[in-house]
Amino acid sequence: MLKADTSNESDRVTLFLCGDVMTGRGIDQVLPHPSDPTLHEPWVRSAADYVMLAEQAHGPIAGPVDFAYVWGDALAELTQVPDLRIVNLETSITRSNDYWRGKGIHYRMHPDNVPCLTAARIDCCVLANNHVMDWGYRGLEETLDSLDHAAVKRAGAGRTAAEAQAPAVIDLGAKGRVLVFAYGAESSGIPPDWAAAADRPGVNLLPDLSERTARHIGERISAVKRPGDIAVVSLHWGGNWGYPVPRHQAAFAHFLIEAAGADVIHGHSSHHAKGVEVYKDRPIIYGCGDLLNDYEGIGGHETLRNDLAVMYFLGMSPSGGRLRSLEMVPKRIERFRLNRVSPEDASWLGAVFNREGLPFATRVRIAGDRSLHLEWGGEDGRRRPGAAFLRSNLCDR
From the number of C-beta atoms within 10 Å of its C-beta (0-12, 13-18, 19+), residue 116 rates as: buried
Which pLDDT belongs to residue 320? Answer: 80
Q: Find, among 41, 163, 40, the residue nearest to 98 by Cα.
A: 40
Q: CATH number for the domain including 321?
A: 3.60.21.10
Say how far apart CA 288 and CA 86 lie, in whole Å. 12
Q: How many structural domains does the chain have?
A: 1
Looking at residue 302, what is its pLDDT?
87
Q: Is the pTM of this model over 0.85?
A: yes
Tell me the C-alpha distance between 2 and 278, whole Å: 11
Domain of residue 188, residue span: 2-393
Task: Determine contact, residues 365/373, Cβ cutoff 8 Å.
Answer: yes
Pairing of strands 13-21, 2-3: unpaired
Residue type at position 372: L
- CA distance to 237, 343, 368, per residue, from 347 (Å): 27, 6, 11
DSSP strand pairing (264-268 vs 13-21) = unpaired
Cβ-proximal residues to 10 (8 Å cutoff; 6+ apart), any chain: none
Listed as ranges, residues in the chain with pLDDT below 70 are 1-10, 378-397
Kindly tell me the burial class for residue 90, based on how many C-beta atoms sit within 10 Å of its own C-beta (0-12, 13-18, 19 or more). buried
Sign of the torsion angle spanned by Cα atoms 68, 71, 77, 81: negative
pLDDT given for residue 10 in this prediction: 64
What single letter denotes the amino acid at residue 45? Answer: R
Would you say 80 and 1 are in contact if contact means Cβ atoms under 8 Å apart?
no
Residues in CB range of 54: below 8 A, 6 or more apart: 26, 61, 294, 296, 297, 335, 336
Count CA within 13 A, CB hemisphere, residue 325.
Answer: 23
State how beta strands 338-340 and 323-333 pair.
antiparallel
What lies within 8 Å, CB to CB, of 35 at 6+ separation is 24, 28, 29, 47, 95, 108, 109, 110
Instruction: Decide: 291 and 19 in contact? Cβ < 8 Å.
Output: yes
pLDDT at 8: 56
| Three-state secondary-structure class, residue 379 | coil
